[in-house]
């Protein structure tokens, strides 16, 4: 359990990165999901906002249970009829490949492997890659993937494509490249579906590439054994925040994907889609981090050299603090984490 200073963030100054960023480059943002209460834990604390930016600053603070709120396209009736979240723990994904199939079916959640000499697997430093089957569309020989070892694992040959084959644990294969007419690959995003709101057509998703104090790739995997638990670090005390906040990661979902013709290498950016449980493909209309109902503080002004404190914050497991400001104010979450037993209800 971490206690004391749980999170710090300065919009426009605190850096983050992701696997699609060039080595040695970082990103900044005006808003970020800075802290998530770990599994089987209760967090209590106070958020302190300090403004030394040189002028008054307007701040937003929200409590959310997702990193991305993804609105799907369609009429009200269509949105009520959508059904997402197939594949083991409920998932959504916009990664896919289309190619030549060997007629042995792929099964949801099975592990698939391939080799891409142009992309390094960050987990083991090799060019061998893995993913899991999200959905298999045999009629269109289209394989939807999630839990990618690298988000560009199938798309890095743009401009100079080469043949490669994805092999499933059950014996299925699908091949893409110049030798396979009509083949294509697409880089999108994937994450855990927290909830689908059929009234507004919104998928509330925890992005697999997000990292604050938790590694969302391993969300729901308690502990930190071998570094594959959900906690960012097993170090206690002051080093907890230093370790976590020097290694923030984020690549939010987008309304478009990078699609590459595997024969010619030509790339396009079509509208991103999720595949429903019935195999229907639904376009993404918009993506946001929060909505109006999530705010506990919205557009509140903090004077220059002033502070704002929000006491009495209590987070249950996997609830998060999202902060935003156009100015470089400092957000500090101070509190404690307590182990709890979470029972189904």
- pLDDT for res 87: 56
Instruction: Name 98's bridge partners.
Output: 142, 184
Same domain, 61 and 85: no
For 18-61, the pLDDT digits (tens) are 999 998 899 999 999 999 999 999 999 999 999 999 999 999 99
198: in domain: no
The pTM of this model reads 0.93
In angstroms, what CA-CA distances link 283 with 72, 74, 194, 315, 326?
A: 6, 8, 19, 33, 30
Residues 280 and 320 in one domain: no
Judge if 142 and 266 occupy the same domain. yes
Q: What three-state secondary structure class fits 6?
A: strand
Burial 26-36 (b: 16+ CB within 10 A, else e): eeebebbbbbb
Write down the pLDDT at residue 232.
75
Establish if 180 belongs to a structural domain: yes
Q: Are 234 and 219 in a shared domain?
A: yes
220 and 265 belong to one structural domain: no
89 assigned to some structural domain: yes
pLDDT more than 90, % of the chain = 82
Position 210 scores a pLDDT of: 97
Do the domain assignments include residue 138?
yes
Residue 200 lies in a domain: no
Angstrom CA distances, 101 to 129, 138, 177, 178, 333, stand at: 19, 9, 13, 15, 51
The DSSP output letter for 243 is H
Same domain, 108 and 233: no
The answer as to whether 156 is a domain residue is yes
pLDDT at 235: 52
The C-alpha angle 254, 152, 110, rounded to 5 degrees, equals 95
Q: Which domain, by its residues, includes 7?
A: 3-67+211-249+292-339
Measured between alpha carbons, how far is residue 49 from residues 121, 183, 320 in Å? 39, 51, 17
Indicate if 74 and 182 belong to the same structural domain: yes
The pLDDT of 314-324, averaged and rounded, is 97
Q: How many CB atoms lie within 10 A of CB 50?
A: 16
Claim to verify: residue 184 and residue 245 sit in the same structural domain = no
pLDDT digits (tens, 9 = 90+) for 162-213: 899 999 999 999 999 999 999 999 999 999 999 999 999 999 999 999 999 9
Extract the tokens encoding 190.
Answer: 């994937």
In terms of domains, do 276 and 147 share one? yes
User: Span 149-171, mean pLDDT?
Assistant: 86
At residue 212, φ and ψ (nearest 5 deg) are -120, -110
Q: Are 272 and 285 in contact (CB under 8 A)?
A: no
Domain identity same for 163 and 308: no
Question: What is the pLDDT at residue 270?
Answer: 97
User: Do residues 92 and 119 both lie within one domain?
Assistant: yes
Separation between Cα atoms, residue 321 and residue 303, nearest integer Å: 22
Q: What is the pLDDT of residues 259-292, one digit of tens each?
A: 999 999 999 999 999 999 999 999 999 999 999 9
In a domain, 335, yes or no: yes
Residue 196 covered by a domain: no
Domain count, the chain: 2
Indicate if 37 and 116 belong to the same structural domain: no
| Lowest mean pLDDT across 137-141, 153-157, 201-205, 211-215 | 153-157
């Amino acid at each position: 359990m971490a206690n004391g200073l749980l999170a710090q963030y300065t919009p426009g100054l605190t850096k983050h990165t992701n696997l699609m960023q060039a080595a040695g480059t970082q990103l900044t943002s005006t808003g970020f999901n800075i802290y998530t209460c770990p599994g089987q834990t209760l967090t209590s604390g106070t958020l302190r906002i300090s403004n030394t930016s040189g002028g008054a600053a307007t701040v937003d603070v929200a409590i959310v249970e997702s990193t991305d709120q993804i609105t799907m396209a369609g009429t009200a009736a269509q949105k009520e009829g959508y059904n997402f979240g197939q594949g083991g723990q409920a998932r959504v994904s916009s990664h896919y490949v289309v190619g030549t199939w060997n007629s042995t079916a792929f099964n949801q959640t099975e592990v698939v492997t391939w080799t891409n000499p142009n992309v390094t697997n960050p987990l083991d430093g090799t060019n061998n890659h893995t993913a899991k089957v999200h959905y298999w569309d045999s009629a269109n020989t289209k394989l939807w993937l999630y839990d990618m070892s690298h988000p560009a694992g199938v798309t890095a040959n743009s401009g100079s494509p080469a043949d490669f084959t994805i092999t499933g644990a059950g014996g299925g294969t699908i091949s893409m490249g110049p030798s396979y007419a009509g083949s294509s690959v697409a880089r999108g995003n994937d994450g855990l579906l927290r909830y689908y709101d059929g009234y507004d057509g919104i998928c509330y998703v925890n992005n697999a590439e997000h990292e604050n104090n938790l590694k969302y790739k391993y969300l729901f995997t308690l502990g930190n054994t071998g570094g594959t638990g959900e906690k960012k670090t097993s170090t206690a005390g002051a080093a907890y925040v230093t370790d976590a906040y020097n290694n923030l990661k984020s690549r939010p979902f987008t309304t478009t994907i990078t699609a590459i013709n595997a024969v010619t290498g030509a790339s396009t950016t079509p509208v991103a889609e999720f595949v429903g449980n019935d195999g229907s493909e639904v376009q993404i209309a918009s993506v946001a981090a929060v909505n109006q109902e999530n705010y506990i503080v919205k557009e509140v002004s903090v004077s220059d050299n002033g502070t704002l404190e929000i006491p009495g914050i209590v987070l249950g497991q996997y609830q998060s603090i999202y902060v935003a400001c156009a100015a470089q104010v400092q957000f500090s979450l101070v509190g404690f984490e307590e182990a709890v037993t979470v029972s189904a209800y």
